Amino acid sequence: MLALLTDREEQVLRLIADGLTNREIARTLSISEATVENHIHHIYLKLGVSNRAQAVVQALQGLLRPQSEAIAVTDAGNAS
């Protein structure tokens, strides 16, 4: 199910699971709060959930890739 998430959506979901607010997520990822809200909306649709708590439950059930793998994907995406 989480395979449907983009790398950025997965990053946002990880930060939600860490307890960050939308504003904190925006600062961390250097994006606007509106963009964070857009990512969260897509996460909810893709996971079939309606709130942050339900999305976090999905994450905590071990459905996210191991963090080291997610970092490797992110780093590879930043390579120029």
**pLDDT(68) > 80:** no
Q: pTM score, two decimals?
A: 0.73
Contact 3, 49 (CB under 8 A): no
From 42, 8, 43, 50, select the one nearest 28 (Cα to Cα): 8
Share of the chain above pLDDT 70, in %: 74
Give the relative orientation of helices 22-29 and 7-17 as an angle to the nearest 10 degrees. Answer: 130
* Amino acid 6: pLDDT: 94
* Amino acid 58: pLDDT: 81
**pLDDT(80) > 80:** no
CATH number of the domain residue 73 falls in: 1.10.10.10
Number of domains in the chain: 1
The residue segments making up the domain with residue 64 are 2-78
pLDDT band per the 50, 70, 90 thresholds, residue 28: very high
Share of the chain above pLDDT 90, in %: 61
